[in-house]
Amino acid sequence: MQPRCSGACCDTIAAMTRDEFDALVAKVEADAEYKRPVAFALGLATVSRFGRVLDTYYPFTNLGEHSGAAAVFSNFVGRKAGGGSFELESGSLEEALGQLEVFAGDGNYHPIIETLRMVLAAVRSDDSPLDNQRSRRAVVTFIGDLADPPIDVPDVYLRLHLLSQRKIEPHGCNLEKIFGILPNVVWSNRGPFDSEEFERTRVELIAQGIELKVRSVDKFPRMTDYVVPSGVRIANADNVRLGAHLAPGTTVMNAGFVNFDAGTLGPAMVEGRISAGVVVEPESDVGGGASIMGTLSGGGNQVVRIGSHCLLGANSGCGISLGDGCTIEAGLYVTAGARVTMPDGSVVKARELSGRPGLLFWRNSQTGAIEVKERSNTVALNTALHQNRN
């Protein structure tokens, strides 16, 4: 994250008329070096007392929209093009609010203005007993191009928010080397803490009468602590990471798991595991205990896609893409290198069948061989179970 901006770096006034706002935006965008970001957001970053950024919360993200606000924030922090994360002090937030509030009385809902007010209030009220352990800082983050690699922790969190807020689908942005960017964090009932000296932190907080319950130690938080998408049911929030993409009509049961940069594109039943990078098309059922091999498995980069109206039986596994209307019987794990007997008696590796629709994979109980045959009927979800209206 780049140094804080106090407001002194811009040449604008604290309150504006609509004409003045338009003139400012025109001036910024007239600069030949200026490039609109493809995405940007204002949020709150949690910073440990050791200076490590632990997380960033963006209540609202912008993807190819609100270019005027992007120009205003770019002007504040001196951004011309590309990506980057910049801290903003309360003076800058107040000035930005004065410039954007020209739209507040038009009868429309303006999430950027509401976010500014929330962030400003949070920064002003950061005087809890946990202040000596961490601080909350306002940050504005820009992404020049979704194909660009992430730069820092707030950048990664913006991409994860875009996924979970359904602004982009899995594989819609570059997430290279994020494990090297994100720190290990202690996630607790009191929010995130720096894992490097957590035991010292725990002792100090207990001495102040503050009880801590550690939920996990990980680089990724629970999605629901940052984003709750509409039209979904999640029985166990611990099993869905920030960066998961859950389409309306998705039901994730208690043992279901959805990793980052993965998820569903329509109504689906998830009782098994959707690993990182896996995409499940509408009307498919990932049965209890079933596992879909992700891009992180064994260091591979093969993207596994499950077609629509597919069924992964209980405790089954899948390491290839499935076309529409496929089924893997309960207990059978189909890896890419598994040898599969075709209806004509020939034997092929399962990877040669990747993406082919209308197949039933099953294991011959007498010979133990994996066999495949074509099927005409497809899986149909129980519609009532996936009408997840909030």
The number of domains in the chain is 2
Express each pLDDT in 316-328 by its tens digit.
999 999 999 999 9
Distances (CA, A) of 229 to 213, 247, 305: 26, 8, 22
Express each pLDDT in 251-265 by its tens digit.
999 999 999 999 999
> What does the pLDDT average to over 116-130?
79
Express each pLDDT in 148-200 by its tens digit.
999 999 999 999 999 999 999 999 999 999 999 999 999 999 999 999 989 98
Residue 207 in any domain: the answer is no
Residue 211 in any domain: the answer is no
Tell me: do 31 and 165 sit in the same domain. yes
Tell me: do 170 and 303 sit in the same domain. no
User: What residues are paired with 88 via a beta bridge?
Assistant: 5, 138
CATH code of the domain containing 239 = 2.160.10.10
DSSP 8-state secondary structure symbol assigned to residue 320: S
**Catalytically annotated residues:** 271
Name the band, by pLDDT with cuts 50, 70 and 90, for residue 1.
confident
Residue 378 in any domain: the answer is yes
Express each pLDDT in 343-362 by its tens digit.
999 999 999 999 999 999 99
End-to-end CA, the chain = 36
Tell me: do 159 and 233 sit in the same domain. no
Residue 204 in any domain: the answer is no
For residue 388, pLDDT beyond 90: no
Domain span including residue 176: 2-180
Which of 180, 204, 234 terminates a domain? The answer is: 180
The pair of three-digit structure tokens given for residue 74, joined into one six-digit string: 């770019």
Residue 246 in any domain: the answer is yes
Express each pLDDT in 132-149 by its tens digit.
678 899 999 999 999 999
Tell me: do 155 and 240 sit in the same domain. no
Tell me: do 159 and 242 sit in the same domain. no
User: What residues are paired with 214 via a beta bridge?
Assistant: 188
Percent of the chain residues topping a pLDDT of 90: 75
Tell me: do 270 and 376 sit in the same domain. yes
For residue 15, pLDDT beyond 80: no
Express each pLDDT in 51-61 by its tens digit.
999 999 999 99
Tell me: do 233 and 345 sit in the same domain. yes
* Average pLDDT in the chain: 91
The pair of three-digit structure tokens given for residue 384, joined into one six-digit string: 């009532």
Q: How confident is the model at residue 5, as a pLDDT?
A: 67
Residue 189 in any domain: the answer is no
Tell me: do 129 and 275 sit in the same domain. no
Extended strands (E) in 144-258:
185-188, 191-194, 214-218, 233-234, 244-245, 250-252, 257-258
Tell me: do 41 and 144 sit in the same domain. yes
CATH code of the domain containing 174 = 3.30.70.2010
Q: How confident is the model at residue 50, as a pLDDT?
A: 87
Residue 201 in any domain: the answer is no
> What does the pLDDT average to over 279-299?
86
Tell me: do 51 and 153 sit in the same domain. yes
